[in-house]
Structure 1
Amino acid sequence: MKCPVCKTFELRPTMIEELLPAMGCEQCKGSLVGLLYYRHWAEHHKPSSDTSAPATVAELPADTTSALRCPKCERIMTKYRLTGTVANRLDVCSICDEAWLDGGEWQLLEQLQLSDKLPAVLSDTWQRKIRNESSERTRQEILRRDLGSEDAGKVETIRSWLKGHPAKSTILTYLYRN
């Protein structure tokens, strides 16, 4: 199998973690991980006991922005976002049940405390949550750009107050009519 990024280098057997085999590219340091092997690893791996918020990611690994072809079946792999704040995406072949990790993405998953949560990351619920968070950030940026930081902060305060208010619809109706 050829590397989907370099296209010329052959993938060679490697280990990402103990009990987690993959096919790796010596050139770009990417890895093709069978999700069946990943599930076995996740079942036998003890997740870290650190439940604090993930550390800020200092340096992001390179991410392939173009569509990749699965090295096994040559079909286009689907890209899955990790978080709303990190641009890196996992490439997954739903036919072969394989994931392509660009060089350094496994370490990124560990830093984000997502290495043992891939099934959740690949779920529609996770991806929808990321899209919603991204949309909300965009709306907030537009509000700050249009009103300025001070007034945007006031609007956010009113929004928070209004969110749980029992007379929310009455207040909104009053505001719309005036």
Structure 2
Amino acid sequence: MQCPKDRRVELVDSTLAPALAAKCCPDCQGTWIPATEYESWQAHQPQPTVDALPKVLDVEFVQSPFDTKAALCPECGRYLSRAKVGVRIPFYVERCLDCGGIWCDHGEWDVLEKMGLHTVIQQLFSSEWQTRIREKEYAIAEQQATIDKLGPELAARVFELAEYLQAHPNGDFGVAYLMRRFDKPEPLKNISMSQGP
């Protein structure tokens, strides 16, 4: 069985966790998890509820240089499907849609384990998770644009006020007040009251 990222390197037997057999690439340090092994191991793991899952993966780690490279399934030769995980340091977990095997580049399994996602990898391929990732990306971009326009000090005050208003039972009144303040037309200036000569 050859490495999905480098077809010249043979995978060797390894383990990711107790009772989870896998295949590791001695070159890129990535790991292939056969579907049958993962499903058997997964059946004995506690399954978190959707609410208990982290809203997004924002952890510090060194991304593998192989993460951006397309991969072929070592079992059936098809291209692996990619699921984006994380925002600030995005990476992709890959899975074969035909046989169900999973590929993790070096370090990715450890990150998934830290975040409690290693037992529910299939959920990362759901439209719900990918929508969550896109929403977080938009929120980060919007926050950065606010900092760029207002400067860090004023932006920090705006973010703090937004949190207070969001937590307050009548916070919507504060938001409505601010919107009215900025929706008012400019005051009329230097308008002559004369009717002409």
Q: TM-score range by the shorter chain?
A: 0.7 to 0.9
Say whether residues 1:37 and 2:40 are aligned partners: no
Match of 1:70 among 65, 69, 73: 73
Match of 1:139 among 128, 132, 142: 142
- Structure 1 gaps of 5+ residues are none
One-letter identity of the residue aligned with 2:9: F
Q: What RMSD, in angstroms, separates the aligned Cα atoms of the two structures?
A: 2.9
SS of match in other structure, 2:98: coil
Deviation per residue, 1:111-170 (Å, 9 max, x gap): 233222323323221121111111101110111012101222333345445554158568
Instruction: Provide the rounded CA distance (Å) in 2 between the counterparts of 1:138 and 1:7.
Output: 38
SS of match in other structure, 1:165: helix
What displacement does 1:57 show?
5.0
Instruction: Provide the rounded CA distance (Å) in 2 between the counterparts of 1:20 and 1:133.
Output: 32
Say whether residues 1:4 and 2:11 are aligned partners: no
One-letter identity of the residue aligned with 1:175: F
Aligned to 2:113: 110
What displacement does 1:3 show?
0.8
Larger Rg: 2
User: Percent identical across equivalent pairs?
Assistant: 25
Shift in alpha-carbon separation, 1:160–1:107, aligned structure 2, 3 A = closer
What TM-score, normalized to structure 1? 0.78
What TM-score, normalized to structure 2? 0.72
Aligned to 2:192: none
SS of match in other structure, 1:133: helix
What displacement does 1:75 show?
2.5
SS of match in other structure, 2:111: helix
SS of match in other structure, 2:43: helix
Shift in alpha-carbon separation, 1:36–1:176, aligned structure 2, 3 A = farther
Instruction: Provide the rounded CA distance (Å) in 2 between the counterparts of 1:32 and 1:115.
Output: 14
Say whether residues 1:176 and 2:183 are aligned partners: yes
SS of match in other structure, 1:103: coil
Shift in alpha-carbon separation, 1:59–1:165, aligned structure 2, 3 A = closer
Deviation per residue, 1:63-92 (Å, 9 max, x gap): 521222222333222221222233221011
8 Å contact 1:70–1:77 — kept in the other structure?
yes
